[in-house]
Every structure is written in structure tokens, then in C-alpha cells.
Amino acid sequence: MNNSGEGVLYLLARFKAQPEDLLIVYDEMELPLGRLRIRASGSAGGHNGIKSIIS
């Protein structure tokens, strides 16, 4: 179980930020090396850390 969402909640409260202020960056093993994908929204795609942050 990845509980990344707990850390994100703490930081949001600490800096008085809103979820809309976040930029989440993580590795995507399905993309070729050097390729970047930017999305305004999306699903966790099986990534447990992102799943924790979304919930």
C-alpha cells in the first residue's frame, strides 16, 4: 500500500494550498525514455502512489 496521499494532504495544509495548486510528477515506465506526457486530469493507471493521491 502506498500512502503518498497522506503526505500530500499534510503539505496542502502546511502551505494552505488547494489541490488545484498541485503539480504531480512521477515516472511512467510505459513511455519511451525522454518522452513527456502532460495532462490536466486523468486516472491512476495502476500507479498506487497516484491512486492514493487521487483518493
Q: What pLDDT tens digit does each residue of the chain (55 aa) get? A: 689 999 999 999 999 999 999 888 887 788 899 898 888 877 777 777 888 888 8
Gap between the Cα atoms of 18 and 41, Å rounded: 15
What pTM value is reported for the model? 0.69
pLDDT at residue 18, as a whole number? 95
In which domain, by residue range, is 10 found? 4-54
C-alpha cell at 6: 497522506
How many structural domains compose the chain?
1
pLDDT the model gives residue 6: 94
Given this model, what pLDDT does residue 31 score? 86
